[in-house]
Chains A and B, each alone.
Chain A
Amino acid sequence: MKKCKLENLIDEYLFDRLDETQKESFEEHYFSCHQCFEKLEEKNEMIAVIKTKGDEIFQDVYAPTKIRRSWLDSVLAFLTPRQWAMAAVSAALILVVSIGVIPNLKTSTPEFFINDDLVRGSSITLISPMIDNLEQIPSEFRWQSLGENTEYKLFIFHQEELLWSTTTEENFVTLSENIKSLMAPGKKYSWQVKAFSPEGTLIAVSSRVQFNFLSSK
């Protein structure tokens, strides 16, 4: 079956990156194009799983290691998830120590390191706001703390543009009235948190979660 030309819009649509006209036009399209709708449903499900189970799925993408990839593949298949859970804690400790001590890690396969951002530890679990169509503008953004001596940067985006960001050592930020006045009902926003060590190294990044609110009261 020939590929539908509009298939590439699926990702953009699911991430709310299309403008209003494109969005409506694509929505009308998948009502008629069964091929696109099927792919859309599949992709949506895949993204849903990735977003909700991301911490679990991508644990090893976070933990840089000197182990060559082919060996890593067989190791991953070797243990059961439960065994991995138990091994992960001890492994993480060992890796953190090795990274600090072994300088030639920089020459390992670049694909395992998120470029110059050395990522270790676990991802940041966001707590709230986690849903769309909130009734009011959220006053507080909260996430799970990664422990002592962590600095967090909160980013709030309007569509793709950065609207505002702030730094804190707490695991939450309360919005002032000034900041709240920057946002309007109905518009699409998203937020994300990055964690830094005291020296300023990036430790972890959360996923980006969308939100919008219906009334400014």
Chain B
Amino acid sequence: MEKRKKDSDIDAIVAKYRPVVSFRVKKSIGVQTPDWEDVVNEIMINVVEKLKKGEFRGDSSVGTFIYTITSRRIIDFIRKKSKVLKHAPEPNPYLSPHEHVENRERAQWIADSIKRLKPKYREVLFLYYYQELSREEVAKKLKISPRRVSERVNYAQKLLRKVMKE
């Protein structure tokens, strides 16, 4: 069985998994500092090395293989960071790790699209995502069933997905 991956395969793998690794890393360590990009790069380099050396045995999926490397790196990074307590500059209060919106124009575009949704969809988005109430709590407030809450939330997202893909 072919154990080593061809270069073109490796490029394809990197292209496919870089966004996933980036997402995971950003969520775990935040985006306030540029550290996350370094961590992602280190992980991808590590992955490429291992693929070239034939260390990937193919008994799990490539995704799981990359997931394992990613998890280890993140743990190492956090351990290192906890030990070195440098004085951090005053952080921007509006940039929270997984709530960081990278492209301002796009963010405004999405916000405007949400504003254009019918009130019943905006209500559920407000209660469920902005206030993070549970399905049941939202149902109680709006006097509808929890199932209807889910349906509305899903439908609102469907409507927005069309917009976000533009």
Which partner residue on chain A sits nearest B150 by CB separation? Answer: A8
A28 to B26, CA, bound (A): 16
A27 to B75, CA, bound (A): 14
A217 an interface residue at 8 Å Cβ cutoff? yes
Query: A58 touching B23 by the CB < 8 A rule?
Result: no
**8 Å CB contacts to A: which residues of B100-119?**
100-101, 107-108, 110-112, 114-116, 118-119
Query: B142 touching A48 by the CB < 8 A rule?
Result: no
Query: A61 touching B19 by the CB < 8 A rule?
Result: no
Query: A131 touching B125 by the CB < 8 A rule?
Result: no
Write the nearest CB–CB distance from A38 to chain B, whole angstroms. 9
Which partner residue on chain A sits nearest B109 by CB separation? Answer: A49
A214 to B86, CA, bound (A): 12
Residue among B101, B130, B142 with the highest chain A CB neighbour number at 10 A = B130
Query: B63 touching A135 by the CB < 8 A rule?
Result: no
Query: A50 touching B119 by the CB < 8 A rule?
Result: no
B14 an interface residue at 8 Å Cβ cutoff? no
Which partner residue on chain A sits nearest B16 by CB separation? Answer: A34
A19 an interface residue at 8 Å Cβ cutoff? no
A71 to B109, CA, bound (A): 24
Which partner residue on chain A sits nearest B26 by CB separation? Answer: A44
A190 proximity list for chain B (CB < 8 A): 132
A22 proximity list for chain B (CB < 8 A): none
Write the nearest CB–CB distance from B165 to chain A, whole angstroms. 8
1/0 per position for B66-103, CB-CB distance to A under 8 A?
A: 11001100000010011001001001011111111100
A33 proximity list for chain B (CB < 8 A): 63
Query: B111 touching A61 by the CB < 8 A rule?
Result: no
Write the nearest CB–CB distance from B16 to chain A, whole angstroms. 8
Query: A132 touching B140 by the CB < 8 A rule?
Result: no
Query: B116 touching A51 by the CB < 8 A rule?
Result: no
B56 an interface residue at 8 Å Cβ cutoff? no
Query: B123 touching A133 by the CB < 8 A rule?
Result: no
Query: Total number of A-B contacts with CB less than 8 angstroms?
Result: 156
B32 an interface residue at 8 Å Cβ cutoff? yes
Given known contacts A41-B23, A45-B164, A61-B122, A217 and B85 CB-to-CB distance under 8 angstroms: yes
B127 proximity list for chain A (CB < 8 A): 114
B8 an interface residue at 8 Å Cβ cutoff? no
Which partner residue on chain A sits nearest B153 by CB separation? Answer: A11
A178 an interface residue at 8 Å Cβ cutoff? no
Write the nearest CB–CB distance from A33 to chain B, whole angstroms. 8
A52 an interface residue at 8 Å Cβ cutoff? yes
Query: B99 touching A51 by the CB < 8 A rule?
Result: yes
Given known contacts A49-B107, A131-B97, A57 and B131 CB-to-CB distance under 8 angstroms: no
Query: A81 touching B29 by the CB < 8 A rule?
Result: no
Which A residues are within 8 Å of any B CB, using their own CB?
Answer: 14-15, 24, 27-28, 30-34, 37, 40-54, 56-58, 60-61, 69, 72-73, 76-77, 81, 110-112, 114-115, 117, 126-133, 135, 190, 192, 205, 207-210, 214-215, 217
5 chain-A/chain-B pairs, Cβ below 8 angstroms: A51-B96, A72-B119, A76-B115, A115-B141, A117-B141
Which B residues are within 8 Å of any A CB, using their own CB?
Answer: 16-17, 19-20, 23-24, 29-30, 32, 61, 63-64, 66-67, 70-71, 78, 81-82, 85, 88, 91, 93-101, 107-108, 110-112, 114-116, 118-120, 122-123, 125-127, 129-132, 140-143, 157, 160-161, 164
